[in-house]
Amino acid sequence: MSTDPNIRITEVALRDGLQGHASFIPTEQKLNLLKLLSKAGLNSIEATSFVSPKTIPQLADAEELIARSRELPDVRLSALAPNVRGVERAIASGVHEVAVVLAATDTMNRKNLGMSLDQAIAASEEVIARAASRKLSTRAYIAVAFECPFEGLVPSDVVVSLAARMLDAGATELVIADTIGAASPAQVQEVCRILTRSIPSDLIGLHLHDTRGMGVANAWAGISAGIRRFDASAGGLGGCPFAPGAAGNLATEDLVLMAESCGYPTGVDLPALYDAVAFASQITGRTLGGRSMSWAKARRTASVAESS
């Protein structure tokens, strides 16, 4: 189990958060959001995905966004690349890191990628190999690692086996994803403890959703099991299209408040992060913000009332 108290957050609002948004967000506004997130101390940002613009029109500006973001100081830019064509585009754009998504079940791969599980494994291995050949780091997501909306509960040995395949292929980080937000803290802790028997905990991250209101509790379960890497999305932006009524991703501000309150430094400036969330709300036209932001607003209101 890791004794390092520092939490490392990969911010995913720009990719996972915005990809399902109906209207196109101009590149300039995405860039401004990225800058605000960086200003808050989030230095690992999954900015976009190199998929077909016909599939996800929101991310049609992937090359332009990366090109305009590369000069930000101390920001590690990551991008999703689902296939060889995507990874070649990502490499040409100058990203620092490439991510692949492999679902733990055959049905989810067919629904999400149009591939069988075996085909998806082969495609992920090829993307990782291409990225590694250019000396790029790679993050391998194991999606629906706890429960699949089509096949139900996922056995932990399947997750361990797929994780081992991705590491053998050359992945530099594994991200275990509760894609539909169905996991409980007990499940998260169990899967993390099983994984860390054979895989160093500093290679494992968690990608959590807050569908059932257990995102922060699941993050704490991961921390308790020795995990120090987490994905999160400012304001809780995003969510899984296969999870009806999904509330979105684990809000970055909730993760930061919980971790910092429990003695696990994140390096994130909460007030600056709240500014980024407010901007994300403005450009999406949606009311965003995790429980932490609501608490901060209430505290601020009470403080003003007391001083008046």
- Residue identified by tokens 């429980």 is 291
Rounded to 10°, the helix 252-261/215-224 angle is 40
Cα–Cα distance measured from residue 193 to residue 95, given in angstroms and rounded to the nearest whole number: 32
> Is 148 among the residues known to form the active site?
no
Report how far apart, in Å, the C-alpha atoms of 60 and of each of 10, 27, 82, 232 are: 22, 10, 15, 23
Q: How many CA atoms within 13 Å lie on the side-chain side of 81?
A: 33
Catalytic residue among 148, 192, 240, 262: 240
Q: Are 45 and 80 in contact (CB under 8 A)?
A: no
- DSSP conformational letter for 235: G
Please state, as a whole number, how many other Cβ atoms lie within 10 Å of the Cβ of residue 35: 15
Cα–Cα distance measured from residue 49 to residue 58, given in angstroms and rounded to the nearest whole number: 10
199-230: string of b/e by CB count within 10 Å (b at 16+)? bebebbbbbbbbbbebbbbbbbbbbebbbbbb
Residues with catalytic function: 240
